[in-house]
Amino acid sequence: MDSFAMESSSFLEKMICRILLLIILTSCVSGSFVVNVTQTSYQAEENHNITLEWTFTTKPDRSSKTLNILCEHFISDKLSVLFHVHEGVEVSESQDAKFSGRVQSDKDALREGRIRLQLSRLRTDDSGLYLCEVNTDYGFSSARCRVSVSGAESRNKNYWDQVKIVLGVLESALLIVSGMIVLIIVAVQGLVQSFRKHKIGGPLLK
């Protein structure tokens, strides 16, 4: 029992050491290489276009031959490739069919360390997480952003919901106003009647 406890504690120590070493190593490597997103979340409408953008550390002395990029879209548990660069060359064959003809990459920006992907004719199922991994001979890193595409139906639904709310407010305003008009009429009638009574009854009382 004791030896088992000792064994498992030394195993734990070893694991902690390994994890610490891994953290130190990755922070050393990634300290000189980063991938950033210029925007962490995008909101767009169906059939519109958006431009997703990532930036990564560049080294002027390195050839583009060492550049590897993989950008993927995640929705629920499904993964599809949006953009793939292998040794500096775009591999369009890797792209998922659902993105076919809808992704435009900016080659000039890519040379400056910017991954600019224009995604056109947005569909609601383009919503989800977009992750770009960049792998070079001087480092590896990744960054993600979130895209939310709202459908035209939901926009129309929102519009009708708003119209319904406005109509509801108008209806209650109308009810209140007509109620007040009825009250005023009743009050005026009461006043007129009591005025008449006074006029008739006044001199009689004297």
Which residues of this protein are in contact with ligand NAG, per CB under 6 A?
34, 36, 48-49, 55-57, 104, 113, 120
CB of 102 or CB of 146, closer to ligand NAG: 102
CB of 31 or CB of 202, closer to ligand NAG: 31
CB of 18 to ligand NAG, least distance (A): 29
Tell me which amino acid residue 17 is.
C
CB of 88 or CB of 113, closer to ligand NAG: 113
CB of 136 to ligand NAG, least distance (A): 12
CB of 47 or CB of 156, closer to ligand NAG: 47
CB of 36 or CB of 124, closer to ligand NAG: 36
DSSP state of 79: E
Q: How many CB atoms lie within 10 A of CB 103?
A: 17
CB of 62 to ligand NAG, least distance (A): 14
CB of 70 or CB of 117, closer to ligand NAG: 117
- 62-90 burial, b at 16+ Cβ within 10 Å, e below that, comes to eeeeebbbbbbbeeeeeeeebbbbeeeee
CB of 60 to ligand NAG, least distance (A): 13
Torsion sign over Cα 195, 200, 203, 206: negative
CB of 16 to ligand NAG, least distance (A): 30
- The answer for residues whose C-beta is within 8 angstroms of residue 51's C-beta and 6 or more apart is 116, 117, 118, 119
Helices vs. strands in the chain: H and E counts, helices first: 3, 10
Q: Please provide residue 192's backbone torsions phi and psi, each rounded to the nearest 5 degrees.
A: -60, -45
Rounded Cα–Cα distance for residues 7 and 199 (Å) = 111
CB of 59 to ligand NAG, least distance (A): 11
DSSP state of 59: -
